[in-house]
Structure 1
Amino acid sequence: MKGFQLRDARPEDAPAMAEILTDWLTRTPWLPNLHTPQQNRAFCGKLIDQKAVTVAEQDQHVVGFLAQRAAEIDALYVAQGAWRQGIGHALLSAAKAKHARLELWTFQANLEARAFYACEGFFELRRTDGQDNDEKLPDIRFAWERTPT
């Protein structure tokens, strides 16, 4: 496993973040791709401007990111070539260190994410038919709570 470090995102990270996002969207056949790569880049720039964004950097390249607004995780993506190296876990651990409770949405069809969040201690709060998300896909609301010590 190559080493990586976490740091706060900078505006110049938006293109690398967008590349990770666009790659995932392109490789996910059940997910409608509603945005161009340029729109994904603008979206990532907006995340950096409006949210707390942590990036994982490996060999001076952004290989993952987590965006959150307070205790709401809005995005968590890891580059495919960096999967299973502890990056997603490290990004979530950093978010958990700041909050006693976290919540997020993921699509019901995203079985890998669902399994990952379950391993990270998240539990299901509710399911929807997806009519309130842009993709119109069924989704699941997850939460995590710090256990009292």
Structure 2
Amino acid sequence: MRRPARLGRARATDAPAIAAILSDWTDETQWIARIHSREAELAFVRDLVARGWVTVARREGRVVGFLAQNADEVVALHVAAGARGQGVGAALLCRARRGRARLALWTYQFNTPARAFYERHGFVEVARTGGAGNDAKLPDIRYEWRRRR
């Protein structure tokens, strides 16, 4: 059995590992085209980390997942391929919800595993678009989670 991941604030030195998780997901996902270089993704991640928005999940000292959050908005949530299905994403999402009355995020309509994950964790679809507002120009879905009273 795998040890639980340890969660903590991302450090600047984590940026390459975080960017690799993001880039690897892009490379392994057949329905999305690569529109940003790995270098651009690293710059994007460095900015998120510098803003203090990123929580990482570590296992044996290695980053195995991350969640970027700006207030009530989840900007990104990705887990390394070898750590998926082991509670890493759930732990990151649970941490993001702490002290919040609501959270919101966007995901692609084609991303059925992410959609199922968010719905399992209490997120509800509130809108759909044709993708005009995202870089990939792919249809997306807006999800929201609200704390039960």
TM-score, length-scaled by structure 2: 0.97
Residue 51 (structure 2) pairs with residue 50 (structure 1): yes
Question: Counterpart of 2:27?
Answer: 26
Question: Counterpart of 2:93?
Answer: 92
Amino acid at match of 2:43: A
SS in 2 for 1:2: coil
Matched positions, count: 148
Instruction: Write the deviation string for residues 3-60 of structure 1: whole angstroms up to 9, x where unpaired.
Output: 3100000100000001100100000111111111111111110111124210000010
Q: How does 1:69-84 map to 2 (within 5 A)?
A: 69-84=70-85
SS in 1 for 2:20: helix
Q: Which runs of 4+ in 1 moved over 6 A?
A: none
Question: Counterpart of 2:146?
Answer: 145
d(CA) in 2 for partners of 1:67, 1:55: 9
Tell me the percent identity.
49
Residue 99 (structure 2) pairs with residue 129 (structure 1): no
Which stretches in structure 1 are left out of the alignment for 5+ residues? Answer: none
CA contact (8 A) 2:57 2:65 kept: yes
SS in 2 for 1:42: helix
Q: After superposing the two structures, state which structure 1 stretch, 33-42 or 77-86, moved more.
A: 33-42
Question: Counterpart of 1:106?
Answer: 107
Amino acid at match of 2:100: H
TM-score, length-scaled by structure 1: 0.97
Amino acid at match of 1:113: A
Q: After superposing the two structures, state which structure 1 stretch, 51-60 or 11-20, moved more.
A: 51-60
Amino acid at match of 1:46: D
